[in-house]
Amino acid sequence: MTVFIYPNLEKLHSEECTAEVIEILKSLGVAVLMTPDTNQVFNGKAEEASTIDQAVSSCDIVITIGGDGTILKIASLAAKHQKKLLGINCGRLGFMASLERSELDCLKNLCTEEYKTEKRMMLDVTVKPEKGTAITKTVLNDVVFTHDFKESLNDFTVLADGVVVSHLRADGIIFSTPTGASAYALSAGGPLIEPSMDCIEFTHICPHSLSARAMIFDPNKIIEVKTEAAGHITLRADGGEAISVTSGDSIYIKRSSLSLSVIDIHGDNYFKSISTKLMNNAKEVYEEADDR
């Protein structure tokens, strides 16, 4: 078995965690693959692939070490090559990660295949500008439209299979997968959705309305977004580079043909994360308030 390790070495303790993972995997007889720049940090302890794409295509499993953002950076590539992905958390929340640093002994389960795998739905977002070439991005979490906060609110019209379902003025709007429902969409007031489900969530960011509510679409709907941009509108796919959007652009969001296979070592990672990471955070805030 060959494992490609993809760490975010800017995260606190990620370098130490990566070194531990390398040693554990090698002791289990697993071939460890890295890109040259990362392998150099660890004194050439791994085999090398010249590019990230080559590493992903050559491995059996991708292991990310960092936070949820690290997973998002490589998710579409892992899905493209149909590789399983295991996240190890060295970040603050790490909601999508299956393992914490204190649980690295569970890596032996990769060799015995004592783990569950979940298929995670993904979305394709296509921006067709009035002039220029269309851009398509594949996302695991979400597609977010926001304005420059120096500008005024903007009007958004949302259509599903050509039928208008919402017209509102807001700071922005979010379209997320069930996986992304626990990210920005949750902070904007959307519901938690079990990530093994298939659907498209539509959530508003600070709508200028008393009736605006999150909506859930059938996963096979084709969503179209139209803007009447008074200011500067940007689109971000999984928090990536900002794409400028104008009122003349055609924007479509639909279910991707790709899906990501996420390894869940314990078999209960989602509900465990809700109780230990989301609920406990709220509990700590209340306890601190009581102490004051």
Catalytically active residues are 68
Cα 226 to its chain centre, rounded Å, is: 24
User: 60: helix, coil or strand?
Assistant: coil
Burial of 23 (C-beta count, 10 Å sphere; 0-12/13-18/19+): middle
Q: How many other C-beta atoms are found inside a 10 Å radius of the C-beta of residue 209?
A: 12
Paired tokens of 12: 């606190």
Q: How many other C-beta atoms are found inside a 10 Å radius of the C-beta of residue 133?
A: 7
Pick from 93, 76, 64, 87: nearest CA to 184: 93
Q: How many other C-beta atoms are found inside a 10 Å radius of the C-beta of residue 136?
A: 12
CA dist 205 to 78, 118, 162, 168, 262, Å? 30, 29, 23, 11, 29
For residue 165, what are the contacts with CB-CB under 8 A and spacing of at least 6? 158, 159, 215
d(CA 252, CA 72): 21
Pick from 141, 214, 147, 213: nearest CA to 183: 141
For residue 206, what are the contacts with CB-CB under 8 A and spacing of at least 6? 170, 171, 172, 188
